[in-house]
Amino acid sequence: MRTIQFFDTSLRDGEQTPGVSFNTHEKVQMARQLEAWGIDTIEAGFPVASPGDFEAVAAIARACQRMTVAGLARCKNKDIDAAYEALKEAKHPQIHVFLATSPVHREAKLKMTQAEVLASIRDHVTYAKQKFDLVQFSPEDATRTETDFLLQAVQTAIDAGATIINIPDTVGYSNPKEYGAIFKYLIENIHSEVPITFSSHCHDDLGMATANALAAIENGANRVEGTVNGIGERAGNTALEEVAVALRIRQDYYQATSQIDLAKTKQTSDLIARLSGIPVPKNKAVIGGNAFAHEAGIHQDGMLKNPATYEIITPQLVGVEKTSLPLGKLSGRHAFSDRLATLGYEFDQDLINALFKKFKVLADQKKVVTDQDLQALVADKLHRASDDYHLASLQVQYVSNGFQAAVVAVTDQTGERQTASAIGAGSVQAIYNALDQTFGQHPTLNSYEIEAITSGEDAQAEVRVSLQDPTTGKQTNGVGVAFDVLQASAKAYVNASSRLKE
């Protein structure tokens, strides 16, 4: 039975989701959780892209003990140098070099001939091999590349020292039969004196990312690339949790396994969802809210007689438990910090102390603090810690059959306070109009979503907003959590506005 390697690119490709932006602290937290989940290699970022990306890759390189940490690089020496510097302290460093190979990319983007593309691959993979033991090469837009030229590109990279070949379906164009055939053809025709790892990287534009990844595995790939919850550019990437569970449930068919600790799947998904601001759809496979819900009478009857009649995945397999967390206002700091560790969070003492104070306030308002409440508390703290602006106060005046009024106060990192008031057709609109004044910007509100984190009258509200600058087109997401819906709405808007102002 083969062991399939899992390569996570949530922090690189996932961050290309419109409106998603992780700071270094958030990336390190996610990296630690991904390592605990069992990821083999993490693509920590694109070091040359910005000082922030470089810093994040370096921080992840220092934090990870078991995982291989990879940095992305174009076929440019400066990119390779930046990746080398960022990964100097990694226990297991890897570079991921890429260059487009399809006709449309060669002609429209690169303005290069086939010969020039091959020469660039040879030169830059050779240069990368001088700095890294592990070199991965990706022919971007491989699935729209001529088959014979794709083989030439892959063989050139292998001859230059690449031992990992990734075949990206960059625009989600392929289907399982075609994609699997590409791997079969390449594996049968490449020449190498050392073992070569073939990896899949699929996008979900046609809804086939997971199916394509599994087809690659069927045809010899022994690594799969993707993201948690399938986040990523456009329609997203292969959802790694779906592949991991498919390999477990259909082990009889795929004859393959992985190092993924499936019991930590839900907490990994929750962390990525909260820090990215991208909620998991209710009908999402494996970890969606309805994944283990059965409403139809026939289904309920079958479940009561034997759960196997309609449930091929047990909730416990992926870490979905029905028990609540027995923490309350009398719980101590040790129990609190121990539970955070159980949920996969690692913080320094100062942050734990700050979170514990927030927990005590929360525990005074709730009879029982659940896992979901704690995750929301942590995510809210991390979001606000990464922002330059914070909601200091909120006052709303409600009048039936008339305009609503709001007064807000926002503080920046220096402690300077901005106050503004405004009216609106509704309370939320009045709050947002007032906040626009404090930020001096007038973004478009693309989406506003509200959800109760837990059930019951003491449930916290979680609000997610998406804003867009009408001039630049820049998008940001924001999350706010509070008992009061209006407070949560204001916090989410401040969170998104702060990032939009960067």
DSSP 13-71: TGGGSTB----HHHHHHHHHHHHHHT-SEEEEE-GGG-HHHHHHHHHHHHH-SSSEEEE
Amino acid at 59: A
Task: Confirm if 479 and 277 have CB atoms less than 8 A apart.
Answer: yes
| For residue 82, pLDDT beyond 60 | yes
Nearest to 380 by CA among 246, 279, 491: 491
Are 425 and 403 contacting, i.e. CB atoms less than 8 angstroms apart? Answer: yes
For the range 283-286, what are the long-range contacts, defined as Cβ-Cβ under 8 Å and sequence gap of 24 or more? Answer: 284/229, 284/230, 284/239, 285/210, 285/239, 285/242, 286/239, 286/241, 286/242, 286/245, 286/313, 286/318
Cα–Cα distance for residue pair 381/352, rounded to 1 Å: 11
pLDDT digits (tens, 9 = 90+) for 47-57: 999 999 999 99
Residue 150 has pLDDT above 50, yes or no: yes
> What dihedral angle (degrees, nearest 10) is formed by the CA atoms of 497, 418, 362, 291?
-10
Whole-number Å distance between alpha carbons of 415 and 396: 23
User: 203 has which bridge partners?
Assistant: 237
Residues 336 and 331: their CA atoms lie apart, in Å, by 7
Q: What is the pLDDT of residue 324?
A: 42
| Residue 400 pLDDT | 84
Average pLDDT of span 232-239: 95
Please tell me the distance from the alpha carbon of residue 68 to that of residue 8, in angstroms, as a whole number.
10
Indicate the pLDDT class of residue 284, thresholds 50, 70 and 90: very high
Average pLDDT over residues 434-445: 94
What pLDDT does residue 323 have? 44
Q: What is the pLDDT of residue 307?
A: 67
Contact 392, 384 (CB under 8 A): no
More confident of the two residues 41 and 476: 41
**% of the chain exceeding 90 in pLDDT:** 66
Cβ-contact 230, 209 below 8 angstroms:
yes
Taking only the tens place, the pLDDT of each residue in 170-207 is: 999 999 999 999 999 999 999 999 999 999 999 999 99
CA distance 67 to 260: 12
Highest mean pLDDT among 44-48, 409-413, 477-481, 497-501: 44-48
Q: Name the pLDDT band for 295 (thresholds 50, 70, 90).
A: very low
Produce one character per residue of 406-441: b if its CB has 16 or more CB atoms within 10 Å, e if not.
bbbbbbeeeeeebebebebeebbbbbbbbbbbbbee
Backbone angles phi, psi at 376, to 5 degrees: -70, -40
For 172, the token pair is 């989600």
Higher pLDDT, 65 or 371: 65
pLDDT digits (tens, 9 = 90+) for 316-340: 888 876 544 467 777 788 878 888 8
The candidate with the shortest Cα–Cα distance to 336, out of 304, 308, 362, 316, is 362
Per residue in 125-144, pLDDT tens? 999 999 999 999 999 999 99
Q: Across residues 363-380, what is the average pLDDT?
A: 77
Pick 342 or 310 by higher pLDDT: 342
Name the H helices within 147-264.
147-159, 176-189, 209-218, 240-249, 251-254
Res 468: pLDDT:
93
Quote the pLDDT of residue 293.
65
Q: Which residue has the higher pLDDT, 298 or 424?
A: 424
Distance between CA atoms of residues 171 and 276, nearest Å: 22
